């Protein structure tokens, strides 16, 4: 991974500290795009430790981040024009909020890093600014007890840091609130699309092969005719669940993600039916609706993991009913579709 964000070295009371740029190079931008497509996403890290932005001194603020490079990049860009210290925790390359949920962005690691980098010698104040979403893993009063440092929870979004600092560490209600606007949902869709991995080749290939089955045995011509149609139906269902539903999330009725996915899946189903992609046999059409609905519903339900407002209790309640229905409906649909090969 390129380290072109390191632009110098500072000699400090606690040793040499690397100085980082607040700009994104074309390399940083390109890597970000790749990570959004899940390429190398689980190993996109910066080295944990202490960094400097500008020329900080003993009065400068300390900002805490995760060692997922995307988190670190957003923080250093937001600190443009400031002199500040950045303390990067070892979160195994996971972003702040998720790492806080897992506990790696947590009290123990923060306390360890404050002591290991001798922050009490580095700065004269006793304040350390932690992103608000880190609060899921960090206990401010415990950190205070163990290190003497006061945790100040900064805004949810790095973009608000400048305004937060300028106002004397006062966050507006908007800065404290997690939202989920279209533009943020769009950024997540590439990762959702990569969810299927090799199943995206394997399942369509299987349908293509099975499409050749008929009452007289096997026909390659039939596989070409009906196989292509099947593949389009499968990818449409996939797209409905992992792209269309997230995009339209706020406009689709129903609270349950599985119902949102089913709704969009069936709309796509009706469009496909109109263009005769579901075949002309009523049993095949019903089988397709069962399969398309299940696929779209399951993938939409999976988006609860990316969403910013679903609770564990809620998702468990939703899944208790939805998961068995999805499995049964997909199975019945698949068996029905295979049977219609021989009608």
Partner 1 sequence: MNGFTYLKNVATLELDQQKCSGCKMCTVVCPHEVFVIKDKKAIIQNKDFCMECGACEKNCPEGAISVRSGVGCAAGIINGLLRGTEPSCDCSSSKKSNCC
Q: Which positions touch partner 1 (CB under 8 A)?
A: 38, 41-43, 92, 94-95, 97-98, 100-102, 132-133, 135-141, 153, 156, 171, 173, 176-181, 191, 194-195, 249-250, 255-257, 301-302, 304-319, 323
| Tally of CB atoms within 10 A around 68 | 25
Residue 167 phi/psi, 5-degree rounding, is -90, 15
| 120 vs 142 by CB, closer to partner 1 | 142
Q: What is residue 242's DSSP assignment?
A: I
Burial class (CB in 10 A: 0-12, 13-18, 19+), 297: buried
Strand pairing report for 84-89 and 61-66: parallel
Assess contact for 83 and 54: CB atoms under 8 A: yes
The structure tokens 């100085």 sit at 19
Measured from the CB of residue 176, what is the shortest distance to partner 1 in angstroms? 7
* Pairwise CA distance, residues 181 & 6, whole Å: 33
| 180 vs 235 by CB, closer to partner 1 | 180
The tokens for 60 are: 């400068």
Measured from the CB of residue 207, what is the shortest distance to partner 1 in angstroms? 24
| 204 vs 261 by CB, closer to partner 1 | 261
| 162 vs 310 by CB, closer to partner 1 | 310
The answer for 242, left when phi > 0, alpha when psi is -120 to 50, beta otherwise, is alpha
The tokens for 308 are: 């910013």
| 42 vs 282 by CB, closer to partner 1 | 42
| 201 vs 282 by CB, closer to partner 1 | 201
Measured from the CB of residue 70, what is the shortest distance to partner 1 in angstroms? 12
Determine the distance from the C-alpha atom of residue 77 to the mean position of all C-alpha atoms in its chain, rounded to a whole number.
20
Measured from the CB of residue 308, what is the shortest distance to partner 1 in angstroms? 7
| 192 vs 284 by CB, closer to partner 1 | 192
The structure tokens 């996915």 sit at 261
| 309 vs 342 by CB, closer to partner 1 | 309
Measured from the CB of residue 281, what is the shortest distance to partner 1 in angstroms? 33
Measured from the CB of residue 292, what is the shortest distance to partner 1 in angstroms? 19
Measured from the CB of residue 107, what is the shortest distance to partner 1 in angstroms? 8
The tokens for 206 are: 């299987």
| Distances in whole angstroms, Cα of residue 131 to Cα of each of 96, 157, 160, 178, 252 | 8, 8, 11, 12, 32
Measured from the CB of residue 162, what is the shortest distance to partner 1 in angstroms? 19
| 63 vs 153 by CB, closer to partner 1 | 153
| Tally of CB atoms within 10 A around 62 | 22
Measured from the CB of residue 232, what is the shortest distance to partner 1 in angstroms? 26
């Amino acid at each position: 991974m390129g380290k072109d964000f390191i632009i110098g070295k500072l000699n400090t009371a606690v040793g040499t500290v690397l100085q980082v740029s607040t700009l994104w190079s074309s390399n940083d931008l390109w890597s970000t795009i790749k990570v959004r497509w899940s390429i190398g996403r689980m190993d996109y890290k910066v080295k944990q430790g202490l960094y400097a932005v500008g020329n900080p001194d003993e009065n400068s603020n300390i900002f805490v981040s995760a060692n997922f490079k995307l988190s670190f990049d957003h923080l250093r860009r937001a600190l443009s024009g400031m002199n500040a210290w950045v303390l990067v925790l070892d979160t195994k390359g996971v972003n702040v909020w998720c790492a806080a949920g897992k506990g790696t962005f947590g009290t123990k690691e923060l306390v360890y890093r404050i002591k290991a980098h001798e922050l009490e010698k580095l700065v004269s104040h006793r304040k350390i600014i932690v992103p608000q979403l880190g609060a899921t893993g960090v206990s401010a009063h415990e950190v205070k007890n163990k290190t003497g440092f006061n945790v100040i929870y900064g805004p949810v979004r790095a973009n608000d840091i400048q305004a937060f600092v300028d106002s004397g560490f006062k966050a507006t209600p908007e800065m404290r609130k997690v939202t989920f606007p279209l533009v943020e949902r769009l950024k997540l869709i590439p990762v959702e699309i990569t969810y299927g991995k090799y199943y995206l080749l394997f399942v369509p290939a299987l349908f293509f092969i099975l499409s050749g089955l008929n009452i007289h045995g096997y026909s390659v011509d039939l596989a070409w005719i009906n196989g292509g149609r099947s593949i389009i139906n499968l990818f449409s269902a996939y797209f409905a669940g992992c792209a269309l539903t997230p995009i339209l999330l706020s406009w689709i009725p129903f609270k349950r993600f599985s119902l949102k996915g089913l709704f969009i899946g069936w709309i796509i189903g009706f469009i496909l039916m109109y263009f005769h992609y579901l075949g002309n046999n009523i049993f095949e059409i019903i089988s397709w609706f069962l399969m398309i609905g299940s696929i779209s519903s399951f993938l939409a339900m999976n988006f609860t993991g990316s969403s910013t407002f679903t609770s564990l209790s809620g998702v468990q309640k939703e899944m208790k009913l939805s998961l068995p229905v999805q499995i049964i409906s997909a199975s019945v649909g698949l068996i029905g579709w295979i049977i219609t090969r021989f009608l």
